[in-house]
Amino acid sequence: MAQDSMTQQGDPLQMSFEDALRALESIVRRLESGDVPLDESISLYSQGEELRKRCMERLQAAEARIAKLTIDASGAVTGAQPFGSD
């Protein structure tokens, strides 16, 4: 009997990053097992892609919030640059 992982796991847009990542890992394990029928594999792949997108969006948002502090010779903070701008 095929299981609808999204119904069990919830809406990816409402999931925390950690929950979405765990759900994605579960899908990957199931697909890698080779024991999933073709139709269910296609559905799982689609669900996994949605979870992957959500995780990437959350990581990009977190990365955008992180700033690299610029410090002068005396150790004083003189400004901040966006993460990864060097």
Task: Read off the pTM.
Answer: 0.66
Name the average pLDDT for the chain. Answer: 82
Amino acid code (one letter) for 10: G
pLDDT at 6: 44
Q: What are the pLDDT digits (tens) for 5-22?
A: 443 457 888 899 999 999
Domains recognised in the chain with CATH numbers: 5-82 (1.10.287)
pLDDT, one tens digit per residue, over 39-57 is 999 999 999 999 999 999 9
Name the DSSP letter for residue 45: H
